[in-house]
Amino acid sequence: MKEETKLSVSAIENGTVVDHIPAQNLFKVISILGLERIDNLITFGTNMESHRLGKKAIIKVADKFFEREEINRIAVVAPHAKLNVIKGYTVVEKQVVEVPDRIEGIIKCVNPKCITNVELVKTKFEVIDKQNVSLKCHYCEKITDQEHMIYL
């Protein structure tokens, strides 16, 4: 499996490889990490076979190293993602995503009568279930579960 991945997306000298992204969420991850707005060399592959995820995607970003906070922002869309920090073509560090206690922005509150859907108010949630990623709105107190998640 690993061989195939390496073949389909070329290796980078320095940077970060984000692996084990559910294929359907690839573009959400790109958007959350703000990769559309940077000039670094980025390669990605998607719809690769994965035992765990069915179809997975992988992103390689040259010369980019993420802060812990940035990494955790993708937790809701790619909770099993793994990051390999590459220096001189070798993996020097492996990082896993941790679902944070609170999430700001990124997700839309499921409640159409919530103030965040009516006025320009940034969404804020308390994560009440880290396993299945279930969020309680800081404002209207309604629960947004994974099934109803819409990304901003």
Partner 1 sequence: MKNKSLVAINDLSKEDIIKILDLAEEFEKNPIQNILNKTVVATLFFEPSTRTRLSFESAVSRLGGRVIGFSEAANTSVSKGESLKDTILTVANYSDLIVMRHSIEGSARYASEVSPVPIINAGDGANQHPTQTLLDLFSIRKTQGTLEGLNIFLVGDLKYGRTVHSLLMAMSRFGASFTFVSPRELRMPSEYKMHLDSMGLKYTEQTDLNENLDKADIIYMTRVQRERFSDPLEYEKVKNVYVLRNKMLENTKPTMRVLHPLPRVNEIHTDVDPNPKAYYFPQALNGVYTRMAIMSLILDLK
Interacting residues with partner 1 (CB under 8 A): 111, 113-116, 118-121, 137-142
The tokens describing 58, both together, are 């992988």
Q: Give CA–CA dist 11/126, Å, rounded.
A: 38
Q: How far is the CB of 68 from partner 1 (least distance, A)?
A: 26
> Nearest approach, Cβ of 116 to partner 1 (angstroms)?
7
> Cβ closer to partner 1: 73 or 138?
138
Torsion angle in degrees (nearest 10) through CA of 22, 20, 15, 31:
20
Smallest separation, CB 122 to partner 1 (Å) = 10
Which residue number, 44 or 125, has a Cβ lying nearer to partner 1? Answer: 125
* Cα distances (angstroms) measured from residue 77 to each of 40, 49, 69, 71, 89: 23, 18, 15, 11, 28
Q: State which residue, 76 or 109, has the beta carbon closest to partner 1.
A: 109
